[in-house]
Amino acid sequence: MTDERRLDLKGLNCPLPVLKARRALARLPVGTRLAVEATDPMSAIDIPHMCAEDGHTLIETRRDGRLLVFVIVAGPQPKRPENPET
């Protein structure tokens, strides 16, 4: 049985859905599924982009009227530089 969590982001506008999804995924163990529900049309662009950028796997995208549902498998957290150049 796969562990799947749900994140209700309905009613939030850009950039909040992607920021909240990113934060939720960062707290999950690798391999955990997260079903993200959003109504912001920009989520259709932002969530897949965030997955590709952060190393998560987007396994399903569904649209039901205004509702968008993204099923994401949490990946390993990207390594951040210890001393980023400014």
Catalytic residue among 14, 19, 58, 71: 14
The distance from CA 69 to its chain's CA centroid, rounded to whole angstroms, is 10
51 assigned to active site:
no
Sheet with strand 67-73: strands edge to edge: 4-9, 33-38, 67-73, 57-64
3-state secondary structure of 50: helix
The residue type of 73 is V
**What residues act catalytically?**
14
